[in-house]
């Protein structure tokens, strides 16, 4: 869609468009982008973080492959994995083996967990002709150790990106891409800030589809969608169409990789929860919006990665209390009243961190409850009952 056309969309049109983009598991936007940019490639990536700037600067389209929902029947994907792991790798294999991802020319598999490591191996065997890279992000955040290692990783990926697209992009091109993604992260932060301050103005489900659409749209377009959404949300509020309700303000924790179905996010809203903070699609926040845009671009990406203070189960922290302290800090900064631990079934990283986080909340008397989901969860009534009871008890007695 042309940028001027996005700026003319009504709120309803904008949300309908974004929802259609993020629920399209045939990746039509990617196919259209390739038709408009003949010869240019598309590079897929899995959650949680990859440096999209490297893909963009090489002239390619970064494409978030976040799995699917219950509209995709899993047949081949189940044949590749045991039953006691999460759902995401099954749907990714299914998308690949049914040809839905044939518009993707390569894949980046971040070192989020063993499941994704195994998936990268299966992908290589199934699609030997496509570029498949394991993105081994460091778990040591000392610039002299993890930083040096990460620089080698980024040098290699940059070389692969240039080769795949036959690009001669330079350091200046990479700096320009960093500037575009800084803007994207700043606009995302503005949307999240608006939701934290007035969650009835920027609602959880709207923010979710807006961010999820950004995993597939070109960043230039997504930036315009974000700016238009901010403008329209204010206009709707001024017109009296968005009013505050007596809902419980909650933080979502544990959903950083396999994403929940959109219906689950809507269910939480209907259960009386205002989601004021979440860890969905953390790539929209990773690094922050101030990556330097002068000097050695790869060094800037390395330094910003080392300095980034956001915590998640995808990150190893030797001090077991640090993640709890960080979560409590986010609860404070968003004026939240409780935490919904919402992890994908069988997600080892999320479920290993959860008891430590719960213990930290118990120590300071912050309410919490937990449920699990899969990206294809269709039966949402038990989650609605749990979240609704949690919200009610917070509103009635101030704690759950
Ligand atoms: S949902 Fe959890 S277990 Fe599954 S791939 Fe992601 S991080 Fe790994």
Ordered by start, the domain boundaries in the chain are 25-169+246-400
Residue nearest to atom 6 of ligand 1 (CA): 257
Minimum-distance ligand 1 atom for the alpha carbon of 313: 7
Minimum-distance ligand 1 atom for the alpha carbon of 116: 5
User: Would you tell me how many other CB atoms lie within 10 Å of the CB of residue 70?
Assistant: 14
Q: How far is CA 42 from CA 108, 262, 303, 362, in A?
A: 11, 25, 27, 46
* Ligand 1 and 258: CB distance under 6 A: yes
Q: Which stretch of 77-81, 85-89, 93-97, 245-249 has the lowest confidence by average pLDDT?
A: 77-81
CATH match of 25-169+246-400 with 1.10.4080.10: no
Minimum-distance ligand 1 atom for the alpha carbon of 348: 3
Residue 311 has pLDDT above 90, yes or no: no
Mean pLDDT of 333-358: 96
* Ligand 1 and 349: CB distance under 6 A: yes
| Pocket test residue of 110, 113, 119 for ligand 1, highest count of atoms within 8 A of CB | 113
User: Would you tell me how many other CB atoms lie within 10 Å of the CB of residue 85?
Assistant: 19
Residue 393 has pLDDT above 90, yes or no: yes
Tell me, in angstroms, the distance from the centre of ligand 1 to residue 212's CA.
18
Rounded Cα distance, 395 and 73, in Å: 40
Minimum-distance ligand 1 atom for the alpha carbon of 257: 6
Is the distance from CB of 130 to CB of 103 less than 8 angstroms?
Answer: no
Whole-structure pTM value = 0.96
Report the chain's terminal Cα–Cα distance, integer Å: 46
Residue 341 has pLDDT above 80, yes or no: yes
Rounded Cα distance, 152 and 37, in Å: 30
Tell me, in angstroms, the distance from the centre of ligand 1 to residue 113's CA.
6
Minimum-distance ligand 1 atom for the alpha carbon of 119: 5
* Ligand 1 and 347: CB distance under 6 A: yes
Residue 397 has pLDDT above 60, yes or no: yes
Give pLDDT tens digits for 121-168: 999 999 999 999 999 999 999 999 999 999 999 999 999 999 999 999
Largest CA distance in the chain: 62
The whole-number pLDDT of residue 399 equals 59
DSSP string, 147-196: IHHHHHHHHHHHHHHHHHHT----HHHHHHHHHHHHHHHHHHHHHHHHHH
Peptide bond before 48: cis, by omega within 30 degrees of 0? Answer: yes
Mean pLDDT of 212-216: 97
Is the distance from CB of 194 to CB of 277 less than 8 angstroms?
Answer: no
Helix (H, G, I), strand (E, B) or coil at 222: helix
Query: Tell me, what DSSP letter sits at residue 287?
Result: T
Tell me, in angstroms, the distance from the centre of ligand 1 to residue 115's CA.
6
């Amino acid at each position: 869609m042309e940028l001027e056309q996005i700026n003319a969309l009504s709120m309803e049109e904008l949300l309908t468009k974004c929802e259609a983009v993020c629920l399209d598991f045939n990746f039509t936007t990617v196919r259209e982008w390739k038709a408009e940019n003949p010869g240019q490639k598309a590079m897929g990536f899995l959650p949680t973080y990859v440096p999209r700037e490297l893909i963009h600067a090489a002239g390619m389209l970064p494409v978030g492959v976040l799995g699917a929902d219950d509209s995709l029947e899993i047949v081949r994907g189940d044949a590749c994995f045991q039953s006691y792991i999460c759902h995401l790798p099954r749907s990714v294999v299914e998308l690949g083996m049914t040809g839905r991802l044939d518009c993707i020319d390569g894949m980046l598999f971040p070192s989020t967990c063993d499941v994704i490591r195994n998936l990268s191996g299966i992908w290589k065997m199934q699609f030997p002709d496509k570029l498949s890279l394991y993105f081994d992000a460091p778990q040591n955040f000392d610039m002299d150790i993890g930083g040096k290692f990460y620089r080698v990783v980024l040098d290699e990926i940059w070389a692969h990106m240039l080769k795949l697209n036959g690009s001669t992009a330079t350091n200046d091109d990479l700096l320009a891409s960093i500037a575009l993604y800084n803007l994207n992260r700043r606009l995302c932060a503005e949307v999240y800030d608006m939701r934290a301050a007035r969650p009835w103005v920027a609602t959880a489900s709207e923010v979710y589809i807006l961010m999820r659409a950004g995993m597939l749209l070109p960043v230039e377009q997504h930036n315009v969608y974000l700016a238009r959404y901010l403008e329209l949300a204010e206009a709707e509020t001024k017109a009296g169409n968005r009013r505050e309700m007596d809902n419980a303000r909650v933080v979502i924790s544990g959903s950083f990789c396999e994403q929940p179905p959109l219906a689950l996010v809507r269910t939480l809203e209907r259960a009386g929860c205002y989601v004021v903070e979440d860890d969905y699609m953390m790539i929209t926040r990773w690094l922050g919006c101030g990556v330097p845009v002068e000097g050695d671009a790869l060094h800037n990406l390395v330094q910003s990665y080392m300095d980034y203070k956001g915590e998640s189960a995808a990150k190893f922290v030797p001090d077991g209390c640090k993640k709890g302290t960080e979560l409590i800090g986010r609860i404070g900064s968003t004026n939240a009243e409780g935490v919904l631990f919402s992890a994908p079934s069988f997600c080892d990283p999320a479920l290993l961190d959860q008891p430590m986080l719960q213990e930290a909340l118990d120590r300071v008397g912050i309410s919490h409850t937990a449920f699990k989901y899969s990206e294809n969860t269709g039966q949402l009534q038990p989650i609605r009952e749990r979240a609704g009871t949690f919200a009610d008890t917070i509103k009635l007695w101030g704690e759950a």
